[in-house]
Amino acid sequence: MLKKYSDKKILVVGMARSGIGAANLLVQMGADVTLNDRKNESQSENALLSLDKRVQLVFGGHPEELFVSSDLIIVSPGVPLDMPCFKSAASKGIEMIGELELGYDILSAFDYRPEVYAVTGSNGKSTTTTLLYEMMSAAGFRTLICGNIGKAITEEILVGAATAQGSDFYEKLRAFVSSLQKVVVEVSSFQLEGISGFRPKGSVILNITQDHMDRYHWMKLYADAKLRVFMNQSDGDMVVINADDPLTEDAGLRLIQRAARGARVAKALFFSRKKEVRGAYLDGDVIRFNEFEDGSFTLGVNELGIKGVHNIENVMAASLLALYGGCRPSVVESCARSFQGLEHRLEFVREVDGVRYINDSKGTNVGAVIKSLEGFSEGVILIAGGRDKDSDFTELRPFVQGRVKALVLIGEAAEKIKIALEGSTAIFDAASLEDALSIAKREAASGDVVLLSPACASFDMFRDFEDRGQQFKDIVRCM
């Protein structure tokens, strides 16, 4: 089945981690691969260090002749599909798929194929993906974690095949894929735009809140991309849906209606912090699961290793998928208690003079900041700002009023945020993150929380959100 990639002229567009992974894997499978990026060569030097020397390179733009002369085009997630070069290729009937689809095709190519579990949503993806992986692994399943979490699916397949037994690459690939039982993959809206046959055994849509409006311009387009995660699921598959999010709940109810009419669709289960649902719901300080173990399985919220109201949702979602995937309730409970969360996601850094400093640098959109603020009642000094993704910051107002004691703004979006939230709290401008922390320390009193949750991308001042979070932690630790 995978021989279809051999001796084909394949164009990979985008020189990020996914593009590098796809190009290297395709070369190993015998394809004639060209990697194309709009950046110039000097801007891509670090990426080139991990690229197979057999891959041909075209920098500085997207020449139409390169696209229309290819047999297949693999698109990296960060590359928008509405560019003229893709339209030209489509007019010639050239197949275009995303890197996620390529990885899934390889995982599905052999007699034994691992079960794939996909996690998407605007916020909480990485935490839920990692927790699900921990549960699957603790249950004894041979599990691979990959995707938008920073481990490109093609890169992980290539690394795994390199260590497997076999006389040639295809035998190694077969041995590695056949050794897997579960694959847990974090998927973004960008990745889901490029799927065609991607069919996870289990999927979850955590939430859909405004994000990446600089790419989608219209909320429905963004929501539709997220909902593609279950478009190929059928009988025997399951999708877990947030019943507290109107967009996702509506999608789940429509799925149930289709099933009632005889359509072969995934079984829909829900999770909720606000009401009793079929799946998992919060009842006081207890999470109740009513679809497994004759309805008797519960988790105590106070026993969870990760804190914050949004993490209750993440635990419910991961647990539902884990239970569906064959994990015992005792394993799910143990992992939920021991899991301490991820770096840069509501990460406690230090307490100074009675003030707690929290790193939530991964809060790169308005919805993420709202969920973080919901975990605090008052006394928050919020550090926000960065590169705007065409967000509506006025949505923060009801969560800032009465809860945020002071708002300290940094980066390109500072003025836009200030206009959106003027009058809701005291607002201060800062020239740098160090300046912002100096102001926050001055404004904070014992019992308060200084929270870095920017609601913006980081690229105006930092390499990425990890760099922003690390600098925050470094400064706080030197206070």
Where in the chain are the domains? 8-93, 103-338, 347-477
Share of the chain above pLDDT 70, in %: 97
pTM of the predicted protein model: 0.85
Torsion of CA 339, 341, 342, 343, to 10 degrees: -120
Question: How long, in residues, is the chain?
Answer: 479
CATH hierarchy code of domain 347-477: 3.90.190.20
- Please give the pLDDT value at position 314: 96
Tokens of 85: 């070069």
- Give the Cα separation of 29 and 12 in Å (integer): 14
Quote the pLDDT of residue 44.
Answer: 66
Please compute the mean of the pLDDT values over residues 158-179 and round it to a whole number. 94
Tens digit of each residue's pLDDT (9 = 90 or more) over 423-458: 999 999 999 999 999 999 999 999 999 999 999 999
3-class SS shares of the chain: helix, strand, coil, % to 5: 40, 20, 40
Give the tens place of pLDDT for each residue, 70-101.
999 999 988 888 899 999 999 999 999 999 99
CATH of 103-338, one of 3.40.1190.10, 3.20.20.10, 3.40.50.300, 3.40.309.10: 3.40.1190.10
**Position 152, amino acid:** A
- Mean pLDDT for 262-278 is 94
Average pLDDT, the chain: 92
The CATH number of domain 8-93 is 3.40.50.720: yes
Alpha helices in 272-421 (DSSP H): 309-324, 329-338, 366-373, 397-400, 414-421
Residue-wise pLDDT tens digits, 328-382: 999 999 999 999 888 888 888 999 999 999 999 999 989 889 988 988 877 999 9
pLDDT per position as a tens digit, 24-83: 999 999 999 999 998 887 666 677 788 999 999 999 999 999 999 999 999 998 888 889
Residue 284 tokens read as: 């006081």
Is residue 137's pLDDT more than 80? yes
| Residue 7 pLDDT grade (very low, low, confident, very high; cuts 50, 70, 90) | confident
Question: Which amino acid does the sequence have at 384?
Answer: A
Using alpha carbons only, give the angle 342, 454, 376 rounded to the nearest 5 degrees.
70
pLDDT at 424: 96
pLDDT by residue (tens digit) across 291-326? 775 556 789 999 999 888 889 999 999 999 999 999
Q: Could you give the CA distance from residue 190 to residue 202 in angstroms, rounded to a whole number? A: 19
d(CA 75, CA 9): 14
Edge-first strand listing for the sheet containing 238-242: 143-147, 182-186, 115-120, 202-205, 238-242, 267-272, 279-283, 286-289, 297-300
**Chain segment 235-245, per-residue pLDDT in tens:** 999 999 999 99
- Distance between CA atoms of 418 and 238, rounded to whole angstroms? 43
Q: Could you tell me how many helices (H) and strands (E) the chain has, helices first?
A: 19, 20
Torsions phi, psi for 156 (to 5 deg): -70, -35
Query: Residue 212 pLDDT > 90, yes or no?
Result: no
Strand partners, 381: 406, 450
pLDDT at site 2: 75
3 or 13: which carries more pLDDT confidence? 13
